[in-house]
Amino acid sequence: MSNRWWIYRRERFPIFAHSPIILAFSLSAVSYSALLRGATALPGWRPCAVAFGCAFLTFLQLRLADQFKDFEEDSMYRPYRPVPSGLMRLRELARVWAGCVALQLALALWLAPRLVYLLAVTWIYLGLMSKEFFVGRWLKARPILYMLTHMAIMPL
């Protein structure tokens, strides 16, 4: 079982390649936020750890959402990918998704419970993205708008 997860992780979410970028992204966001609030010192380790953890898990959730959203298309045109090939099941990925939500919730509650509202907005937006905002065909016919709607999650 762990070998299947290792193959999936390597192919669909290479953590060693993504982690430094997510770390830079999350630390810059926390530092910029502190600057906007007039801080004169670097943020502590807890906000940095929570920012990295939640951002990392959000990027993983984005990848997982793609597995569900693109399942039919991948089955037709990319049957070698982990889910269409049978290496992973959508049910297993849904459990990982739920685990991400639980970890993000725990991190937010540990740092500042008011962050749960921002997480909820992110989860809702991600849910809408995974359903292509219920206008998938229309949106895919407009690539610039498609890209903008999918990049809008980054500030969240």
- 121 assigned to some structural domain: no
- 148 assigned to some structural domain: no
The total number of structural domains that make up the chain: 1
- 41 assigned to some structural domain: yes
* DSSP of 19-81: HHHHHHHHHHHHHHHHHHTT--S---HHHHHHHHHHHHHHHHHHHHHHHHHTHHHHHHH-TTS
Q: Considering only CA atoms, which of 40, 33, 59 is closest in space to residue 150?
A: 59
Neighbouring C-alpha atoms within 13 Å toward the C-beta of 123? 15
- 155 assigned to some structural domain: no
- Indicate the pTM of the whole model: 0.90
- 136 assigned to some structural domain: no
Give me the average pLDDT of each 10-residue run along the chain (156 residues). Answer: 85 92 94 91 93 96 92 92 93 96 98 95 94 92 93 87
Instruction: Give the residue numbers spanning the domain of 51.
Output: 2-113
- 37 assigned to some structural domain: yes
- 122 assigned to some structural domain: no
- 86 assigned to some structural domain: yes
What is the model's pLDDT at position 1?
58
